Amino acid sequence: MKRVYTLCIITCLVMSLFSFGIHKITREDEKHLKVGFIFVGDEITPYTNNFIKARDHVKEVYGDRIECVTIYNVAEGQVESHLQELVAEGCDYIIAASYGYGPDVKAIAEQYPDIQFCVPTGDNANSDPVLPNYHNCFGEIYQGRYVCGRVAGMKIKQMIEKNIITPQQAKVGYVAAFPLPEVISGYTAFYLGVQSMVPEATMIVKYTNTWSSYSLEKQAANELIDENCVVISQHSDTIGPVTACENAKLEIPVYHVGYNQSMTDIAPTKSLISCCVDYSYYFEQSIGALLHDKKIEDCIDGRTYGQDAMAGLDKGWVRILDLNETVAPSGTKEMVEDTIAKLSKGELEVFSGPFTGVSVFDPNDRIDLNSPYKENAQSSSPTFCYILDDVISMEEMNEKKSHNRNMKMDSMQGQKTQVCLCT
> In this structure, how many other beta carbons lie within 10 angstroms of the beta carbon of residue 128?
6
Backbone φ and ψ of 300, nearest 5°: -95, 125
Average pLDDT over residues 177-197: 97
Contact 134, 125 (CB under 8 A): yes
One domain for residues 173 and 74: no
Residues 187, 193: Cα–Cα separation, whole Å? 10
Specify the pLDDT at position 30.
79
Residues 402, 408: Cα–Cα separation, whole Å? 10
Specify the pLDDT at position 29.
59
pLDDT tens profile 204-220:
999 999 998 999 999 99
The closest alpha carbon to 183, from 218, 155, 207, 151, belongs to 207
Does residue 245 sit within a domain? yes
One domain for residues 109 and 246: no
Contact 38, 79 (CB under 8 A): yes
One domain for residues 270 and 295: no
Contact 270, 285 (CB under 8 A): no
Specify the pLDDT at position 3.
52
Backbone φ and ψ of 350, nearest 5°: -80, -55
Does residue 21 sit within a domain? no
Assign 3-class secondary structure to 214-255: HHHHHHHHHHHHHCCCCEEEEECCCCHHHHHHHHCCCCCCCE
pLDDT tens profile 299-342:
999 999 999 999 999 999 999 999 999 999 999 999 999 999 99
The closest alpha carbon to 133, from 99, 94, 161, belongs to 94
Contact 203, 391 (CB under 8 A): yes
- Residue 336, CA distances (Å) to 128, 149, 249, 319, 329 in order: 40, 10, 29, 12, 12
One domain for residues 129 and 149: no
Does residue 22 sit within a domain? no
One domain for residues 263 and 244: yes
Residue 122 confidence class, pLDDT cut points 50, 70, 90: very high
Contact 214, 171 (CB under 8 A): no
Does residue 129 sit within a domain? yes
Cβ neighbours of residue 375 under 8 Å, at least 6 residues apart? 140, 142, 185, 189, 350, 351, 382, 383, 384
**Strand bridging mode 303-305 / 308-311:** antiparallel
**Domain range holding 240?**
142-277+317-411
Residue 42 confidence class, pLDDT cut points 50, 70, 90: very high
One domain for residues 288 and 243: no
Average pLDDT, the chain: 90
Tell me the helices (H) and strands (E) count for the chain, helix number first. 11, 18
Residue 130 confidence class, pLDDT cut points 50, 70, 90: very high
One domain for residues 328 and 218: yes
Residue 268 confidence class, pLDDT cut points 50, 70, 90: very high
Q: Which residues pair with 359 in a beta bridge?
A: 386
pLDDT tens profile 146-178:
999 999 999 999 999 999 999 999 999 999 999
One domain for residues 266 and 369: yes
Contact 46, 40 (CB under 8 A): no
For residue 222, what is the domain's CATH number? 3.40.50.2300
One domain for residues 94 and 176: no
One domain for residues 60 and 181: no
Specify the pLDDT at position 82.
98
One domain for residues 286 and 161: no
Q: What is the pTM of this model?
A: 0.87
Could you give the 3-state DSSP secondary structure of residue 320?
Answer: strand
Residue 398 confidence class, pLDDT cut points 50, 70, 90: confident
One domain for residues 365 and 407: yes
pLDDT at 194 over 80: yes
